[in-house]
Amino acid sequence: MDDFSVNLVALRLFISCTGLVGNVFLILSIIQSKFCRVKSFQLFLLGLAAANSENILIVNIYDIIILETSSTTTGTWLCSSLKFLTLFGEITSILFTVLISIFRYQKLRNGSKRVNLPICMDSIRSATMLSGICVILSFLVSLPVFIINQEVPAGNITQKTSGCPPDFFQCSDNYCPIGSRLYKYLFIVLCNLLPLVAITATGCLILTVLLSQRKMVTPAVSVSGLSQFSKKRKRLGVHRSTIGVLAAMGLFQVDWTLYLIFHLTFSPTDIPFWAEIEFFISISYTSISPYVYVIGNSLFSLKNCKKR
């Protein structure tokens, strides 16, 4: 059993380090484009990568340092702060994913009619405002954790060996205050279910647009072969980026569907490895998604940046 725990911790550290490297690489790739004009899509990716990195770091601090050490003297405010930061990073990552999916659909919708005309989200001011709204909403939704952690008596925590239980909502089968229950289900609906529905619907709309564009493609004779080649190259770049976004959206759907099933079906008292299961479900998206975006987008090379 000890060997199993050691292997489990090693696997967690490996996944976390891999995800942290991917997100840092994505951040550095976007920052390198400071010599040219930073676009809205890059700004959304920057916010997503920053939220992913924060989430990976805090989850490991919370799960390994607090839970694995079986500390019974963990301060209430330290425990609440770790929970707050974990939820803050998680919600911010989810909201930025929703922004990226909506942005990609807006860029594809009526693309043939709009040609090179910008959309509302192309404005850096609009993108910055939307990013700020995501951060503020994440902050406000995570704040009730401090109140819940203060209201629950010490004898009703979900893990006897730790002063900082793995259940963020502190709502077990035997003891679940009205405030904890209300916050739990509001959180699941607003921060998990609605974003999942929005991303699923947006993904279906993107696929519909791609299929309709494919049917509308007809052979055309161009006066300038160079112009035709340039347009074709641009379409391939947009198509590759869209495939990357769709792949990340698919990963998001799988992970957070499992997360919803896990939270709505089981209780922390029913599963001894609750923290580990929740960790692998939530951390897989934040660790894999940066690689999907980097592979799907050719925007982040110095060569491309110098050409702009």
Flag whether pLDDT at 139 surpasses 90.
Answer: yes
Residues 213-262 pLDDT 10s: 776 554 444 444 444 444 444 455 456 778 888 888 999 999 989 888 88
Q: Cα(158)–Cα(188) distance, rounded to whole angstroms?
A: 19
Q: Cα(200)–Cα(161) distance, rounded to whole angstroms?
A: 40
Mean pLDDT score, 130-144 = 94
Residues 65-108 pLDDT 10s: 665 555 444 557 787 888 899 899 999 999 999 999 999 888 88
Confidence of residue 45 (pLDDT cuts 50, 70, 90): very high
Say which residues have a Cβ less than 8 Å from residue 17's Cβ, sequence separation at least 6: none
The closest alpha carbon to 103, from 44, 46, 49, 52, belongs to 44
Average pLDDT of the residues of the chain? 76
Burial environment of residue 109 by CB neighbours within 10 A (0 to 12, 13 to 18, 19 or more): middle
Residues 184-207 pLDDT 10s: 888 889 999 999 999 999 999 998
Handedness of CA 153, 155, 157, 163 (dihedral sign): positive
Average the pLDDT over each of 110-114, 164-168, 267-271 and give the range with the smallest value: 110-114
Flag whether pLDDT at 54 surpasses 60.
Answer: yes
Domains of the chain, each with CATH number or no CATH: 13-216+224-307 (1.20.1070.10)
Amino acid 155: pLDDT: 47
Amino acid 232: pLDDT: 47
Q: Cα(305)–Cα(29) distance, rounded to whole angstroms?
A: 10
Average the pLDDT over each of 17-21, 26-30, 185-189, 238-242 and give the range with the smallest value: 238-242
Amino acid 52: pLDDT: 94
Percent of residues, the chain, with pLDDT higher than 70? 66
